[in-house]
Amino acid sequence: MSKIFDTIFLDRDGTISHDPYGYINSLSEYHFFDYTFEALEILSKYTNKFIIVTNQSGLASGKIDIENLEEINSFIYKEFEKRNLPLKKIYFSENYDEGYDSMRKPGIGMFVKAKEDFNIDLSKSLMIGDSIVDMQVGDRLDMKTIFLLTGFGKEYLAEVKDKCDPNFIAKDLLEASKEIVSI
């Protein structure tokens, strides 16, 4: 199978894991979807690099403690590593900075950093997420995009259809992984 994507960028909450409250501040509250690793195994046929890009403004508002976020990150790295899934890095934005270059999605900051760190061709990469900001940043960088109806996806659907142009809208990450050849 050819590696058709340089990198697959994944949002975290609502994309690979549940997003019950809009933020998560402990490892005990952090749960992958039951199909997440089945989906990632399929997606790994199409790329050599996964990168997680996640807005965690709860750090700035005090809803999330950095120690807890780091504990969750370690857990995620370990779960990917166990299955030989090539997770290169988890990038997170800590604040509410708005603006085109901001680290917070739809700002392009995390992606520019990843591009420099791992020599990524963004135009040959894919962004998967459940929020309009995931689709907006994908559009800004000319990436392919897949919009998921998990997490907050159903709430954003109308706005995404109006303002963005996802290559595919999938019920969840598993469906996205199975349809990826068609985009």
Active-site residues, by number, are 11, 13
Decide: is 11 part of the binding site for Mg ion (CB under 5 A): yes
CA distance 38 to 40: 6
Decide: is 130 part of the binding site for Mg ion (CB under 5 A): yes
Decide: is 14 part of the binding site for Mg ion (CB under 5 A): yes
Point out the residue whose Cβ comes nearest to Mg ion: 14
23-52 positions binding Mg ion, by CB under 5 A: none
- For residue 98, report the phi and psi dihedrals to the nearest 5 degrees: -100, 170
Pattern of binders to Mg ion over 142-171, x per CB under 5 A? ---------x--------------------
Decide: is 13 part of the binding site for Mg ion (CB under 5 A): yes
Work out how close the CB of 131 gets to Mg ion at its nearest, in angstroms, rounded to a whole number: 5
| H-helix segments, 45-143 | 58-61, 66-82, 109-118, 132-140
Among 42-50, 72-80, 114-122, 131-139, which window interacts with Mg ion (CB under 5 A)? 131-139
Distances (CA, A) of 112 to 2, 99, 165, 174, 177: 25, 14, 21, 27, 25
Q: Are the C-beta atoms of 47 and 6 separated by less than 8 Å? A: yes
H helix or E strand, kind and range, residue 178: helix 173-179
- Positions touching Mg ion (CB under 5 A) are 11, 13-14, 130-131, 151
